[in-house]
A = this chain, B = another copy of it.
Amino acid sequence: MRVTAISSVGDEKSQILDALARAVRRSDFVIVSGGLGPTADDITTEVAAEFFALPLVLDEVFLDTIQGSLEKWGLPWIEGYRKLAYVPQGAELIAPTSACGFLLHYDNVPVFFLPGVPAEVRQIAENRVLPTLIDKNVEHIVVRQRLFKLFGPQEAQIGESLDGVARGEPDVTVGFYPNFPENHVSVTVRAKTAAEADRILAKVEAEVERRLGEFVVAKDASSLEESVGGLLIEKGLTVAVAESCTGGLISQLLTSIPGSSNYFDRGMVVYSNRAKMEQLGIPARVLEEHGAVSAPTARLMAQGVRSLAAADIGIASTGIAGPSGGSDEKPVGTVFIAMAGPEGVKVRKYKFSGRRDQITVITAHTALSWLYKYLTDRSFLSGPEAS
């Protein structure tokens, strides 16, 4: 099966009816999302009932569920919630959460109506929609996909490096997706059997790794911070963070992973010069001579927080995120990243471009990519740029 079309329409009856008519005509499987909520602009249920020529009936069991949830969370009953429990007669109700999804059939075409809240869509999709979709897969085509998340090279460089990566494999599709600050590459394999699909995917995956493996920081649903967290736990190492221009983002990414207390003890957001001196003992002299955005300051931040937290690794960022604060010598986007570990200290100057939020994100991502590189190869901290 392939996704052949995605249509978005407003909360207007005629548009929804049109979209439903087109969808059931051209597809074997339809998923509708949104418009099931309690407010007056949510009209999908009502329009679905009209499209399928079914009356709306009150589902007492679901009404009880709603009332139970409200009580559990200590929220007041509101008349608008009653609307949620009216569903087209005969519809199969699905995993009722805050809004109730339901399933109807148009001839042989299943039409799923799901809430619009992304977390709920994801949950219902996994538990209820995908199993039905797999059952309906009459072609018996096996699809395997791997998503490579690359950090560093430009999209065009990646495209060039992967030219002909699936040569001789007609049922492989390679897709390229910029996903700031990463670039993602998907490899999709279609085959008659699972064994065949797995074999082809493994072959193409090995080729992608051979050509661009050094830039791959995560795969599939995983993220760079998950890769880093997993490696820190696996190796029993700890990290401490001293941040200036990233303002807490590096710490936040490192602690976003369940179990992060195993490797993360503390982070310091030392935004002002005073905070850098008081919290990390950076000498006033260094800040005066070299500035807060400098290699010596970054180095002392990484060493200082490593020592303070008695961590294996200290990582630090200091830079000018803009829009103001830049100078000819140190324009907006000038960033120093430093890492201190048992093997030594490494500092590097970057010149990033973009808006304030982009510079912040790319700086934090670069810092995490340093951790990732170090955790996969300790010589990262004793290479030519280290001291």
Q: Are A264 and B256 in contact (CB under 8 A)?
A: no
- Which of these, B15, B39, B278, contacts A158 with CB under 8 Å? B39
Q: Are A356 and B256 in contact (CB under 8 A)?
A: yes
- Which of these, B4, B272, B323, B357, contacts A266 with CB under 8 Å? B272
Interface residues in A97-120 (C-beta closer than 8 Å to B) = 116-117, 119
Residues of B within 8 A of A254 (CB): 247
Q: Are A271 and B275 in contact (CB under 8 A)?
A: no
Q: Are B264 and A266 in contact (CB under 8 A)?
A: no
Known interface pairs A80-B159, A155-B37, A156-B80; A353-B269 also in contact (CB < 8 Å): no
- Given contact pairs A41-B175, A260-B271, enumerate 6 new A-B contacts (beta carbons under 8 Å): A6-B7, A7-B7, A78-B159, A117-B178, A248-B251, A268-B269
Q: CB of A127 within 8 A of chain B?
A: no
Residues of B within 8 A of A154 (CB): 75, 78
Q: Are B6 and A15 in contact (CB under 8 A)?
A: no
Nearest B-chain residue to A116, judged by Cβ: B178
- Which of these, B247, B255, B279, B354, contacts A255 with CB under 8 Å? B247
Q: Are B256 and A360 in contact (CB under 8 A)?
A: yes
Q: CB of A59 within 8 A of chain B?
A: no
Q: Are A76 and B157 in contact (CB under 8 A)?
A: yes
Contact with B along A248-266 (1 / 0, CB 8 A): 1111101110111100111
Known interface pairs A266-B272, A279-B266; A160-B79 also in contact (CB < 8 Å): yes
Q: CB of A176 within 8 A of chain B?
A: yes
Q: Are B8 and A5 in contact (CB under 8 A)?
A: yes
